[in-house]
Amino acid sequence: MIWTRFTDAFGVTHPITQGGMQWVARAELVAAVANAGALGFLGALTQPSPEALAREIARTRDLTDRPFGVNLTVFPTLTPPPYAEYCDALIESGVRVVETAGQRAADHFAQLKAHGVKIIHKCTAVRHALAAERLGVDAVSVDGFECAGHPGEDDIPGLILLPAAANRLSIPMLASGGIGDGRGLVAALALGADGINMGTRFCATAEAPIHDAIKQALVANDERATDLILRSFRNTARVARNSVSARVLALEADGRPFEEIAPYVKGARGREGLESGDPEHGIWWASMVQGLIDDVPTVAVLIDRIIADAERLIRDRLTAMVAD
């Protein structure tokens, strides 16, 4: 067993979390993560309404009696979802841990903290992590440039970003981005993290509620098979490379307005691809960790393997390198 400040503070066996991925973070995956001793997060906005989120929380509770949380990603939009009502739903459902992300997530910290909810805030820069700490979050998840989704605009990889953040933070920190095995866990701990957050790696598991063809695409792809889209709009997103991402990049290079690009990056289109098994149908998130994915195990097998490999690496390789 690997004990850290994170496992102690959040009441889990292993210092591993499963990110609240849009369309993927549903009850069957989150419960499997929880049952394996790690901390999983439902995606609040994967559910079409606060009432649907409450039902998904109940469905997860039917599958596990262990801790799990909810991800709430808050971005400014012209027609924002009813974020406060989503908060009410998870609070009333008894959820005690929330993973937040986005510039406006802090608008809801007081509401969550007033009900004893612990907050893990996702950050892509040291300055953002320090701001979150000042606002009273209980932990941060620091995303390096390797991550899927939104890596920020600074392009700082985890090898630098993690120790830079650890040097200045006093709260527990999770390492996120490009991590998928025991070596990644040990490296993260060595860099100052208290655990790891994985997204893409959990997509390639038996319980992930996406089509098997997408899982096999993750296995087949290597570490080069991602694209960074929407850079020209300072909303960079790392996605799996396909014909749609290539089209988006071509439109950006041609200086086309976002209105012309929007149909290609619609979330609904990406969801259709994940569910139909067509990796060319739309944009879907994936990190560089694709290069380390070579199978589709159950969640329990994956987590047990990560912990066993990390313990073996620490005990048999690293300890042996230290001379008396």
Q: How far apart are the first and last CA of the chain?
A: 25
Both 160 and 13 in one domain: the answer is yes
Which tokens hold the place of 50? 């606060």
| In a domain? residue 109 | yes
The angle subtended at Cα 142 by Cα 138 and Cα 146, nearest 5°, is: 160
Burial class (CB in 10 A: 0-12, 13-18, 19+), 228: middle
**Cα(238)–Cα(178) distance, integer angstroms:** 12
Number of domains in the chain: 2
Q: Please tell me the number of Cα atoms within 13 Å of 94 on its side-chain side.
A: 8
Residue 77 shares a structural domain with residue 131: yes
Tokens of 8: 């102690």
Closest by alpha carbon to 39, among 94, 99, 92, 90? 99
140 and 257 fall within a common domain: no
Indicate if 258 and 186 belong to the same structural domain. Answer: no
pLDDT of residue 220: 98
SS (H, E, C) 213-255: HHHHHHHHCCCCCEEEECHHHCCCEEEECCHHHHHHHHHHHCC
Instruction: Specify whether 135 is located in the same domain as 236.
Output: no
Question: Do both 172 and 38 map to the same domain?
Answer: yes
**Same domain assignment for residues 204 and 150:** yes
Closest C-alpha among 160, 190, 197 to residue 176: 197
Domain shared by 253 and 147, yes or no: no
Q: Are residues 300 and 260 in the same domain?
A: no
| Total-model pTM | 0.96
Query: Is 96 domain-assigned?
Result: yes
Residue 89 in domain: yes
Domain at 158, CATH number: 3.20.20.70
Range of the domain at 312: 5-209+294-321
Note whether 11 and 109 are same-domain residues.
yes
So what's the pLDDT on residue 242? 98
Whole-angstrom CA distances from 113 to 50, 98, 170, 282 are 19, 10, 19, 37
220 lies in a domain? no
Structure tokens at 167: 């040097």
∠ CA 181-238-254, rounded to 5°: 155
Residue 283 lies in a domain: no
pLDDT, tens digit only, all 324 positions of the chain = 899 999 999 999 999 999 999 999 999 999 999 999 999 999 999 999 999 999 999 999 999 999 999 999 998 777 899 999 999 999 999 999 999 999 899 999 999 999 999 999 999 999 999 999 999 999 999 999 999 999 999 999 999 999 999 999 999 999 999 999 999 999 999 999 999 999 999 999 999 999 999 999 999 999 999 999 999 999 999 999 999 999 999 999 999 999 999 999 998 999 999 999 999 999 999 999 999 999 999 999 999 999 999 999 999 999 989 887
**H or E element in which residue 42 lies:** strand 39-43
**Same domain flag for 151 and 250:** no
Judgement on whether residues 148 and 58 belong to the same structural domain of the protein:
yes
Q: How far is it between the farthest Cα atoms of the chain?
A: 64
Provide the β-strand partners of residue 298: none
Cβ atoms of 98 and 70 closer than 8 Å: yes
The reply to whether 285 falls in a domain is: no
**Ordered alpha helix ranges (H), the chain:** 5-10, 27-35, 50-63, 83-92, 109-113, 126-134, 158-166, 182-190, 200-203, 212-220, 243-253, 258-265, 267-276, 299-312
317 inside domain: yes
CA distance 163 to 187: 11
> Could you tell me if residue 287 is inside a domain?
no
